[in-house]
Structure 1
Amino acid sequence: MKTFRWIVATGWMALSVWGADVPARTVPWAGRPLTLTEALNWALAQNAEVRKARQDLEAATGVAIQTRAVALPRLEGNAGYTVREQGGVEQFPVPGLPIQIPNDNWSAGIRLVQTVYGGGRLTSAWRSARLTEQQARAAYDTAVAETVLAVRTAYADVLLAAEMVRVHEASVQLLEEELRQTRQRFEAGTVPRFNVLRAQVELANARPRLIRAQNSLRIARQQLAQLLGFDVPSEFSDDLPLEPADHLQPPESKPDLAAGLKQALNRRSELAMLRHAESLQAEAVRQALAGYKPALEVFAGYDVHSPTFRDELDRGIGGWLAGAQVRWSFFDGGSTRGRVLEARSKQERVRVELEDLRRRIELEVRTAYSRLMEAHEVLASTAKVQEEAEEALRLAQARYAAGTGTQLDVLSAQTALTEARSIHVQALRDCVVAQARWERAVGLPVMEAESQP
């Protein structure tokens, strides 16, 4: 069992290159094998789902900044210039006083405004901003976990397809050797032509299975490349030069269902997402209830304007100002009551979703446990069958060479061996994938995942 504690220096660029998204690239591994760890690193850096989740995380950071801004002071500035027709300005001549109301004026000012009491809105805004970021982080972790599972499964499928090609190539080689020996015996007059025809038919039947296995390998490579976020160059019209460096190896550790259930309820990012959503709805209720309470703002600033009773546009009159303002809506037509009702209903809905998700995750863990145990048992059984099939072929060939066996015995043993090898390789892949799904079900952290190709 190969253990990798993913340093993911490339993959976790997801956390350090926000805003500098990585475009899809052409395959860089041509000419060298690709390990599972490298595949995971590439996927965490370039997979489309991870990149979209990274942008969602950055967008949530922007939402949190907007939410937090409600509790912060505002610095506002204003300026204006107005001109009227002279006939539209009423004059008030006072004997002995030089009063002349101008037909144009200007004003400017700056003001610092701070809400000091909002009925609970301010503290709720800070909590909501923090919860929004945490919820987005949990959503990102979910996307990463799903991508890791998909890549591990696709990598195992490539290994399975490659092993299947080797199994069927070995079968074809065995049948070619059987045909060669049968022809020699026929030429020596020890066997009839029927034996040659039977060997030719068996060989012809084996070649389509090899062709299908080779095509499955091509498709598996392309699916893995798509998950890694690479554009397949047009020059690779037939097959990708993607060779896995690892091998199918069964996991050594056996799962603990009770510990897995407890771990899943504590670590699954989907549950964390809904817990944060429930807390956000609780804050929405507090903010809605704040509509029943007054809001107090204080402000300070400086205003300057042109003279009101003198036609001196180039002169400014200004000074400092400060004050406070209270707003209290005594009747809003039921708007606040409606917002409270809406927020409480959404909060209760999230609670129901959380309970349902907890049950579904428990079912997922139990299902993953059952399938992993089944995979271990099937793998142990197929390993023994493969050994027996190899021994049966050896005995059949020895008996046939000694003249006590038949060609049918040899061909049947060869077919049984090919089937046993195919079933064993499939069982290996199923065991590896079942382990990956178990680790995903219990919420094993990506950085601590222990797995095998």
Structure 2
Amino acid sequence: MCTNTACFLRVVVMVVAVAVCAAVTENGRAASTAAEPLSLDACIRIALDKNPANRAAMETFAAAGEAADAARAPYYPDLSLNLGYRRVQTHAFLPSSINFPGITSIIGPVNQWNAGVKASFTLFDSGQRKAEAQSARASHKASAEDAERTRQGIIIAVTEAYYTLLAAQEAKGAAGEHLTRGEDHLRLAGERKAAGAVPQADVMRARVEVANARLSLVRAENAVRIARGNLNRTMGLVPSLALAIKREEQPVTAPGAVDITEAYAHAMSRRPEIRAAGHNITAGENNVKSAKSTFGPKIRAEAGYGWLDSEFLPQDKDWSLGVSVQWPLFSGFAGVHNTARARADLSRKEAEKEQVILNVQQEVWTAYANLTETYESVQAAVVAKADAAESLRLARARYDAGAGTITDLLDTETAMDNAQVTYVQAMYTHYIALAHMKLAVGDL
């Protein structure tokens, strides 16, 4: 047996130990995730789980679902419990023919205690509850399409940030290679200057080139930091988180593989914006029906059962059962204006769908044009890279043999670096254009 204090201290120690183990495990897991190179699919999975925009869209969808369920409430009866007390004095207006001595027309003051249950049910409402329920259901479906659009937006943002980071890393590597070659050229120029083969100007030119290469490397490293922070942000993570990503090669897609007519048709049936606009029109049509239903009658069944007495815990039964009919005759033209407003709102939604269709068609066409451009850019960059590499090899050989100048060598080296960066940018820009093409047709 242990004292209360000893038992309490043991519990505290166990709780602290469990908390420390959990923290160590979580930190180790986070460090492992940050250290392990992530693929594009892994980045997308993290973004869909962590990005607050996706969570907000899902909560909006859930709220719309609750609104759709709430719109079905009029199909159920209303049931309420009533408890009350009041002290009453009133005047009874008796006919003049009734005149008995000692009978007063004043009733009370008396106590009234009541307790009971009341129920009512709508038998007919000119189609109002049906229209409102269908409108809420259509809005729920539109919210689902909005959530899908948000999901696709997150995916395309992560894709762009992912390939931008890869391009920045490739540019950093090219800048490092440029610096290494510059230092090698500076060494070679120094050796040839010592041998009297070249003037001091060649050495100074090589030093300037090395300094510029170091500056380019610094800028490239900063571009990597910014691109990594942007990728972290799109994934819903802290921008300063150190993470590594995998370099993934994808096949280059020729624009001829895409049929623009089929792409248009596919986008019309797949894009969530168009489907959401269609659901909004359905909701608008039912809003018109709901507004028109206010001109018709409403029939309700009502019932009540309880007790009414002048003493606490009433004993006298009090019940009622009946049907009520309500038919508005005049409401200040509110029904007319509400119906006109609903029709105008429906026309607006129909026009918005037409605009959405035009926007989607333009996005498909733009994505197709960008895919064509990036494909041709990749083909040109491949040739330029090969030519620049061969030109650099020849320039280096001429300089080593004393037949070329340092200016020729550095110019061809710069051309090689530019060709390498252009090739990398063309490849990753093509990957991004391909993702935008999938987004445009609704397949992302």
Query: Which amino acid in structure 2 is aligned with residue 182 of structure 1?
Result: A
**Is the contact made by 2:253 and 2:434 (CA closer than 8 Å) also made in structure 1?**
no
Paired position in structure 2 for 1:20? none
Secondary structure (helix, strand or coil) at the match of 1:30 reads helix
Write the deviation string for residues 6-26 of structure 1: whole angstroms up to 9, x where unpaired. xxxxxxxxxxxxxxxxxxx98
Q: CA deviation at 1:312?
A: 4.5
Deviations 1:76-104 (A, max 9, x none): 221211125xxx46799999xxxx96721
Whole-Å separation in 2 of the counterparts to 1:35 and 1:94? 102
- Aligned pair partner of 2:142 in 135, 143, 151: 135
8 Å CA contact 1:27, 1:231 repeated in 2? no
Q: CA deviation at 1:319?
A: 5.5
CA contact (8 A) 1:89 1:103 kept: no
Corresponding pairs, count: 405
Letter in 1 for 2:140: E
Kindly indicate whether residue 130 of structure 2 is the aligned counterpart of residue 154 of structure 1: no
Matched, 1:82 2:86: yes
Closer, same or farther in 2 for the Cα pair 1:94/1:151, shift >3 Å? Answer: farther
Equivalent residue letter for 1:296: I
Residue pair 2:128, 2:294 contacting (<8 A) in 1 also: no
Residue identity matched to 2:382: A
CA distance in 2 between counterparts of 1:298 and 1:251 reads 70
Give distance in 2, aligned partners of 1:153 and 1:229: 15
The answer for the alignment partner of 2:278 in structure 1 is 275
Matched-pair contact (CA < 8 Å) for 1:47–1:228: yes
* Alpha carbons of structure 1 residues 413 and 81: separation in structure 2 relative to 1, 3 Å: same
For structure 2, list consecutive stretches of 5 or more residues without a partner in the other structure: 1-28, 95-99
- Helix, strand or coil: the match of 1:82? strand
Kept in 2, the 8 Å contact 1:138–1:270? The answer is: yes
The residue number in structure 1 matching 2:293 is 290
1:245 is matched with which residue? 246
**Root mean square deviation, CA, Å:** 2.4
Gaps of 5+ in 1: 1-24
Task: Specify whether residues 286 and 416 from structure 1 end up closer, same or farther in structure 2 by C-alpha distance, changes over 3 A only.
Answer: same
Q: Does 1:42 align with 2:49?
A: no
How far the C-alpha of 1:248 sits from its partner, in A, is: 5.3
Aligned partner letter, 1:208: L
In the TM superposition, what is the alpha-carbon distance from 1:359 to its structure 2 partner? 0.9
Question: How many Å separate the matches in 2 of 1:358 and 1:252?
Answer: 26
Q: Give the letter for the 2:324 counterpart.
A: Q
Q: What TM-score results when the alignment is normalised by the length of structure 1?
A: 0.84
Residue 32 (structure 1) shift:
1.8
- C-alpha contact (below 8 Å) 2:396/2:409 kept by paired residues: yes
Give the corresponding residue for 2:9. Answer: none
Distance 1:278 1:344 in 2: 11
| 1:435 corresponding residue in structure 2 | 434
Q: Which amino acid aligns with 1:264?
A: A
Quick check: 45-54 or 371-380, which moved more? 45-54
Q: Distance in 2 between matches of 1:231 and 1:64?
A: 37
Question: Which residue among 207, 213, 226 is the counterpart of 2:220?
Answer: 213
Matching residue within 302, 305, 322 for 1:302: 305
| 2: CA distance, partners of 1:152 / 1:72 | 49
Do the aligned residues in 1 keep the contact of 2:284 with 2:346 (CA within 8 Å)? yes
Residue aligning to 2:391: 392
Q: CA-to-partner distance for each residue in 1:132-174, whole Å, 9 max, x for gaps?
A: 2101111111111111111110111111100100011111111
CA–CA separation in structure 1 for the residues paired with 2:50 and 2:279: 28
State the shift of 1:280 in Å: 0.7
Classify the secondary structure of the residue corresponding to 2:71: helix
Secondary structure of the equivalent of 1:103? Answer: strand
Change in 2 beyond 3 A, CA 1:315/1:410: closer
Per-residue displacement from partner, 1:385-437 (whole Å, max 9, x unpaired)? Answer: 10111111111112222333332222111111001001111111210111111
Deviates more, 1:209-218 or 1:397-406: 397-406
Mapped partners of 1:305, 1:213: distance in 2: 86
- Cα contact 2:113–2:314 (8 A) shared by 1: no
- Looking at structure 2, the residues matched to 312 and 185 of structure 1 have their Cα atoms a distance apart, in angstroms, of 120
Q: Identity over aligned residues, as a percent? A: 31
Counterpart in the other structure of 2:334: 335
Supply the AA of the counterpart residue of 1:439: K
Are the equivalent residues in 1 in contact too, given 2:60–2:143 (CA < 8 A)?
yes
